[in-house]
A and B are shown apart, each in its own frame.
Chain A
Amino acid sequence: MMKALGSSRLSRRRFLTASASLGIGTIAAPYVARADDPTLRITGWGGKWGEIMKAEIGPAFESEFKCKLQTDSAFPYLPKLQASSRSAPIYDVLHTNSNEQWAAAEMGLVEPKIDPKLVPNLADVYPYAVSHKIVGVSIFTSAIGLGMRTDKGYGNITSWKELWDAKYNGVRGGYVIPVNSLGQAFLMMCGTLFGKGQTDLDAAYTALEKLKPIKIVDFTGAMEKMLLSGEVGLCVIHDSGIYRYDGQNQPTDFVSPSEGVLSLEQVLTITPGSKMKELANAYVNYMLRPEVQKRLAETVWYSPANKKVKLDAKYDAKLLTTPEKVSKLIQVDWKWYNERKDEIDQRVNRIFRA
């Protein structure tokens, strides 16, 4: 008995070996565990989108495709993708807005188009979702129009041009154009409204000069709060930024101007160096499924890209769910915009600095 105990006594060497093994095991465990299931690395928004993706949509995908979904919701996505190796990119699927997708495509970081043979649901999307102004596929869109206070007696607003009315001096809202997609899209709209078209930058700059005084913010969330608080009475905003307060008796409403609404697309692309191409295509296809689209659309108030989606009446009445409504969408030529972004940024900074 004594001998048996003695032989099992812990020697220093055995202790060190055991400790080292334990340490290596602890550090390596997550990697070993990860190696069992294929992992699809994607990007995604926070807020309500992130909540429902984490709680329902993501786990359902993982369970169906026997994989792990690793979602990076910490901005900025593009510099991280840029810094990672082309042959082993940090993401398999990039989810972001169209302007950033175009920048990524120009750098060869994402594939410009999705193969319809590998993503069958692509056959059911509205034409805008795969138009020549889209890299990858737009799975949802918001409509950028005007947000207004309904308790200030502004009357019936029907045109973008009413934003220039002097009665909104002091309560007009816009964005820091260099960092906000809505602001950038609005600049292009100014060219259309007062010039020869989206690319008429001189007309747009003149229009922006005349828009002052204007309260400008970085994030759309900040604009929502300024409208809710009454600090802003009329502003550029996307429909989901207004509709998300539906049922809360807020004195705000969304206006679809007669000239059309700008589209703010939620775009998915696949990275060329992804080792999970099959799974990446499966994910894009999954996100375009009518039931997934319906659930997300009714949670975050985004208009679904799939034509076959039938939303509940409340959502159907407000979102872009028919070809007629979708025809009001104006898509921005982000490739053209990105090529001139530095020049535009400098000019608008000069305008609003004053």
Chain B
Amino acid sequence: MQTTASPSLPAAQQAASARTPGPIRHYGRYLYLAINIAILVFLLAPIAIVVVFALNPTPFIQFPPVGVSLRWFEKFFASRDFMHALGFSLEVAVLTTLSATVLGASAALALARGNLPGTRLIVATMLSPLMLPAILTGLALFQTYVLLDVGRPTWGLVAGHTLVTLPYVVRTTLAVLHNFDTRLEEAARNLGASPLRTFFEVTLPLIKPGVLAGAIFAFIVSFDQFPVSLFLVSPGNETLPVTLFNYLKFDLDGTIGAASVVSIVLAFVVVIGLDRTVGLRSYVKL
């Protein structure tokens, strides 16, 4: 049935296309382009405004800008607080990415293969941090740490970030596992490969796109994470978003713009770095 139905679909499309008058097709194409351009402008306009704010020498947002200056970048890079926050944010994001990726990918494998009872419930529970406002997750974790009398350690912050980034890795890995052909693993096992070798040489390369996509999400979500960090950062160890929030309460100058530009550049660097090191483009269509 399928073999006969498939060729008929393009034929139907061709027939429909033939029925559509030329000018309408033309306008439709323009409309399509216009909508796409509007979406791109909508997505990129905030970034453009941030860049203008960062490069404008005046201590307030002014349009059109009166000049180009790097004074806010100088202030940002000269500030010990900002530099410490940037380094700390990167450290937390890297640790979070590692823990969320290992835990999330393992959990997804167990859920897809383990024949566990109540799988749907477990998946829903694992995705629940996405449903809960992150600020409540932060507050709840803060109270838990207080009850355990552990203070606000860095591992506690990483655990909090892992909690909110884990669903991304679970979801993206599960999506890949959904279409996974288990016969490939069986073939490897039949050819004498050990379970460990089968995992590293067959399973992992095949689920890599999902795991990597999840890892990228985890890094970016952790690096930009504000609501959870708000309650879990300890004095002297604030992440960049928290430092920026505290800063803008008192000084709303271009330093905020400069910090935002640095964050955007860093996100690009991470994606490009992953592309260069693990060939991201061949796995994930960005």
Contacts and interface: CB of A to CB of B under 8 A. Distances in A.
A262 B40 CA distance: 47
A71 B147 CA distance: 21
A229 B146 contact: no
A79 B235 contact: no
Given A74-B238, A74-B242, A79-B139, A229 B58 contact: yes
A90 B59 contact: no
Interface stretch (B126-134, B202-210, B246-254): B246-254
Contacts of B250: 45-49, 220-221
User: How many residues of A sit at the interface, in one of the four size bands?
Assistant: 20 to 34
A19 interface: no
B62 interface: yes
A70 to B, nearest CB: 5
B175 to A, nearest CB: 36
A229 B60 contact: yes
A228 B230 contact: no
A346 B68 CA distance: 44
A72 interface: yes
Contact of A88 (B62, B149, B238): B149
Interface string A136-172: 0000000000000000000000000000000000000
A84 to B, nearest CB: 5
A100 interface: no
B62 to A, nearest CB: 6
Given A71-B235, A83-B139, A83-B146, A229 B246 contact: no
Contacts of B147: 85
B174 to A, nearest CB: 33
Interface in A66-80: 70-76, 79-80
Given A74-B233, A76-B230, A83 B143 contact: yes
B249 A219 contact: yes
A41 interface: yes
A229 B58 CA distance: 9
Nearest to A73: B246
Interface in A116-147: none
Contact of A221 (B81, B146, B243, B251): B251
Contact of A72 (B61, B235, B243, B251): B235
B10 interface: no
A70 B235 contact: yes
Contacts, number: 76
Given A83-B142, A83-B143, A225 B245 contact: no
A79 B140 CA distance: 11
A29 interface: no
B76 interface: no
A265 interface: no
A219 B248 contact: yes
Nearest to A224: B252
Given A83-B142, A83-B143, A90-B146, A75 B252 contact: no
Contacts of A48: 250
Interface string B244-279: 011111111100000000000000000000000000
B248 A74 contact: no
A164 to B, nearest CB: 26
A49, A70, A219, most chain B CB atoms within 10 A = A219
B67 interface: no
A199 B236 CA distance: 41
Interface string B7-30: 000000000000000000000000
Interface in A19-58: 41, 45-50
A211 interface: no
B146 A74 contact: no
Interface of A: 41, 45-50, 70-76, 79-80, 83-85, 88, 90, 219-222, 224-226, 228-229
Interface of B: 58-62, 81, 139, 142-143, 146-147, 149, 230-231, 233-236, 238, 242-243, 245-253
Given A72-B235, A75-B230, A221-B252, 19 more contacts: A46-B247, A49-B250, A71-B235, A72-B234, A73-B246, A74-B238, A74-B242, A74-B245, A75-B245, A75-B246, A75-B249, A80-B231, A83-B139, A83-B143, A219-B248, A221-B251, A226-B60, A228-B58, A229-B62
**Can you list the 3 inter-chain pairs with the closest CB atoms, starting with the nearest?**
A47-B250, A225-B60, A229-B60
